[in-house]
Structure 1
Amino acid sequence: MGHREALLVGAKRCLAEKGYARTTARDIVAASGTNLASIGYHFGSKEALLNQALIEAIGDWGTELARTLSTHAVSDLEPMAQFEVIWTEIIALFAKHRQVLLASFEAISHVDHVPAVKEILSSGLEQGRQGLAQMFGTVAEGAGEAESRAVGSFYQALLTGLLAQWLIDPEHSPSGHDVATALRIITARHRAGDLTEKSA
């Protein structure tokens, strides 16, 4: 493994162990077995290295998320039961990727001061919207960009909200069953409202 790859591995380890803001260049050097000059040579700065490591770490999370969703893409379950199973699996992934996901939340506090971080997170959000809309398979084939983006944004909001609750209080955060139950209640009430309006 060359110094560049070793630095990225070390930086990702530091993100997981120390977080985004608390990681120093010396931390990365110690974790990677390289030297301070290597950071400047390969990445220009510690911040650029950390940003690249964050991109890759979030990409690793996204890859595993996609794998989880594709596992349940074809199912004999009815749609709401499948929805519950998928979210149960996603929430189970939070524990495995906790430190990296926490680091990504921590990076949010830097978006107003570090344009590169804002660009990374904005790009991740947009890719997440598109990917979630496709992976959940709830957008009709041939749907327009606006419809796909709206559905993807809904799933992204749900994912981010569940993750935030889990990071703060995993013991009391919603389960996949809770999310599915809530959606059943909301859908039933909206349908009841539609029927009431039509009969009026």
Structure 2
Amino acid sequence: MSRTELGGYRERLLAAAVNCLQEKGYARTTARDLVAASGTNLASIGYHFGGKDALLNEAIVSAYDAWIEHVEESVFGGPLAGPREMLERAMVALVDVFAEMRPQLVLAVEAYPAALREELLRAKLAAVYGRARQAGIDMINRAAAELGVELPFAPEALISVLIAISDGLMIQWLLDPESTPDAHQVVEALAALSAFIA
């Protein structure tokens, strides 16, 4: 396969970084691993990203961004019957994909400790969470407009809570998949909680 068919060096390095992160983890991925997996050279890492860590950070961010896009496509993949259906679709895209996305989940969890020690990665992940929150807010506003309903709340806090639920379930699933609720159970629990505290 020619270089053109494989894509440019930058794209190949990013794809290789995602693969290496999923297979080896953040701390164990070396620049040589990235070069071998991408079919590029050491100089191309510095040229396109400034260094190995910057490349790995960018790969982590791209994995998060892809997940955000997946959720939005799932929510609006067909007509919505109501707010509960929107929540169910979002939860399916966030929770019921854990088995097929296991390598990405491990990558996400491994990014947290690295971000605690590396300021640039922490800033990039904070920005990703900001984009995720904004995407969620936009989805709620779009759904409300499509359904012709007025929101009885500001969506900002709700989105942060839903992200926290998804992140928490992701960690639980990685440790004990059999005991982790699925999307339907999550929605049922949220509905029961809402009725209980109303």
Fold in common (TM above 0.5) = yes
* Percentage of matched positions with identical amino acids: 39
Q: 2-side partners of 1:55 and 1:85: how far apart?
A: 23
Structure showing greater radius of gyration is 1
Q: Which residue of 2 aligns with 1:197?
A: none
d(CA) in 2 for partners of 1:98 and 1:47?
23
Report the AA paired with residue 162 of structure 1. Answer: L
> Following superposition of structure 1 onto structure 2, how do residues 60-139 of structure 1 map, counting pairs within 5 Å?
60-71=66-77, 74-76=79-81, 79-80=83-84, 83-137=87-141
Q: Structure 1 residue 178 and structure 2 residue 182: aligned?
A: no
Q: Is 2:153 aligned against 1:149?
A: no
1:97-132 per-residue CA deviation (whole Å, 9 max, x = no partner) reads 321232122111022321111011101111111212
- Segments of 5+ residues of structure 2 without an aligned counterpart are 1-6
Partner Cα distance (1:148, 1:90) in 2: 18
**TM-score, structure 1 normalization:** 0.81
Q: Report the residue type matching 2:50 in the other structure.
A: G
Q: CA deviation at 1:172?
A: 1.6
**Does structure 2 conserve the Cα–Cα contact (< 8 Å) formed by 1:8 and 1:49?**
yes
1:158 paired residue number: 165
Secondary structure at the residue paired with 2:154?
helix
- Mark the CA change 1:40 to 1:155 in structure 2 (over 3 Å): closer, same or farther: same
- CA RMSD of superposed structures (Å): 2.5
Match of 1:10 in 2: 16
Contact 2:88–2:184 (Cα < 8 Å) also in 1: yes
TM-score by length of structure 2 reads 0.82
- 1: CA distance, partners of 2:144 / 2:74: 21
- Structure 1 unmatched runs, 5+: 192-200
**Matched residue of 1:111: which SS?**
helix
Aligned partners of 2:83 and 2:143: how far apart in 1?
13
Which aligned pairs between 1:15-54 and structure 2 lie closer than 5 A? 15-54=21-60
Which has the higher mean CA deviation after the structures are superposed, 36-45 or 114-123? 36-45
Asked whether the 8 Å contact 2:18–2:59 carries over to 1, the reply is yes
CA positional deviation for 1:83: 3.1
Q: Deviations over 1:50-101 (max 9, x none)?
A: 11111112111211121112225x323x544553354234322223332123
Aligned to 2:3: none
Using a 3 Å threshold, how does the CA distance of structure 1 residues 63 and 80 change in structure 2: closer, same or farther? closer
Alignment-mate amino acid for residue 108 of structure 2: S
